[in-house]
Amino acid sequence: MNRDFTAPAPDRLWVADAARIRTGEGAFWLAAVRDAFSDPIVGRQTGDSHDNALVENSFSRLKIEPVHRRSWRTRDEAENELFACIDGFYNTERIQKDLGQLSPDEHEAARHTTQADLATTPASPTAAR
Per-residue pLDDT of 53-63, as tens digits, reads: 555 666 666 65
Query: Residue 48: pLDDT band by 50, 70, 90 thresholds?
Result: very low
12 SS3 class: coil
Tell whether pTM > 0.85: no
Give bridge partners of residue 102 from the DSSP assignment.
96
Strands, DSSP E only, in 38-111? Answer: 41-43
In this predicted structure, the answer to whether residue 101 has a pLDDT above a threshold of 90 is yes
Instruction: Please state whether beta strands 41-43 and 26-35 pair in parallel, antiparallel, or not at all (unpaired).
Output: antiparallel
Query: Residue 21: pLDDT band by 50, 70, 90 thresholds?
Result: confident
Are residues 84 and 36 in contact, defined by beta-carbon separation less than 8 angstroms?
A: no
128 vs 125: which has the higher pLDDT: 125
